Amino acid sequence: MARPVARPACRAGPPRDHQSVSQRLLLAWAVCALPAASAAQRLGSRVAAAPDGTVRLTFAARPGVCGNGRNIIALDCTGGRCGRQHTITIDGGYDRDEVEYDCESGPVRVSLRVRDGHAQSLRTYVGGRWATPSADAVVTDLGTVSAREAVAFLLELARREDGRAGEEAILPATLADSVVVWPTLLKLARDDEVPQRTRRQAVFWLGQAAGDAATRDLADLVDDRTVDRDVQEQAVFALSQQPRDAGVPALIKIARSHRDGEVRRKALFWLGQSGDPRALALFEEILLGR
């Protein structure tokens, strides 16, 4: 009788001094790519097999992600309250000075509109519960899936779909628990075959990734001659969202030396919004012609 064969865990090899953090994480991502592709295919097959209508799936949210189950997703939730910073409001806003609300720390809920086996669009929620569909609605609920399987499916959807669904698939992938997504976001941002709107979304969410590695990769993206100006400008914006000690020096370098005047102007604009003394010193230098 055949017995299961033990397989090594998916992990990066031992770090080496000459490898950057970015290189090591990309290596780990490459080692895990085959299982991720298989997971994407499995979930993709289930979505493709669903009848025309709505397909629902649910997966675990990473720590700090919470929502009200409807139109609010917060990325810094603590103590059962959605934070005032890094809050995403879907379909309209609300007055933070007038309204308070409780939030739930997950799960992530994704609702896909499917036709002929292809996702046409999707919506993302955090917290809450699925409403009971009306009698005439066609709803396929895939239940709770693993976060890794969901991310693999969503990022593959982002890579191949040229409609709204591809662009909208980026957000829920970034909310998943225990999955590092930024190496794949970087690949999407650099891929000329990926629709422009999806690439811009990938750059935006890459900018939300914490750590020096993400900042370095954003700066490299701005300098990459093969990348479209729109994507470079989105990377400049993403750098402006980084912590000051990481983002401001990168923006100053771009403002001083980037070959494209429009990109330099974008960097100067976001430096002006920072209020950082280093930015003010640069403006003085430029105005005085030093």
Return the ∠ at Cα 90 (arms to 148 and 231), rounded to 5°. 70
Q: pLDDT digit of tens for each residue in the chain (290 aa)?
A: 444 333 333 433 334 343 444 444 344 444 444 455 676 789 999 999 999 999 999 999 998 898 888 888 887 776 656 555 567 777 655 555 555 667 788 899 999 999 999 999 999 999 999 999 999 999 999 999 999 999 999 999 999 998 899 999 999 999 999 998 988 988 898 898 999 899 988 888 877 665 556 678 888 889 998 888 999 999 999 888 888 888 899 999 999 999 999 999 999 988 888 888 898 888 888 888 76
pTM of this structure: 0.71
pLDDT at 53: 96
Strands of 118-126's sheet in order across: 118-126, 108-115, 53-59, 139-144
pLDDT at 120: 95
pLDDT at 283: 85
pLDDT at 13: 39
Tell how strand 87-89 and strand 108-115 pair up: unpaired
pLDDT at 44: 93
Q: E strands of 127-201, at which residues?
A: 139-144
Q: Is 127 left (phi over 0), alpha (psi -120 to 50) or beta?
A: left
Q: Which residue has the tokens 């750059």?
A: 203
Return the ∠ at Cα 153 (arms to 150 and 154), rounded to 5°. 85
**Two structure tokens written together for 97:** 């000075």
pLDDT at 260: 92
CB contact set of 92 (below 8 Å; sequence gap of 6+): 71
Quick check: helix, strand or coil at residue 150? helix
Length of the chain: 290
pLDDT at 84: 53
- Bridge partners, residue 55, by sequence: 112, 140
pLDDT at 2: 40
Per the CB < 8 A criterion, the answer to whether 237 and 271 are in contact is no
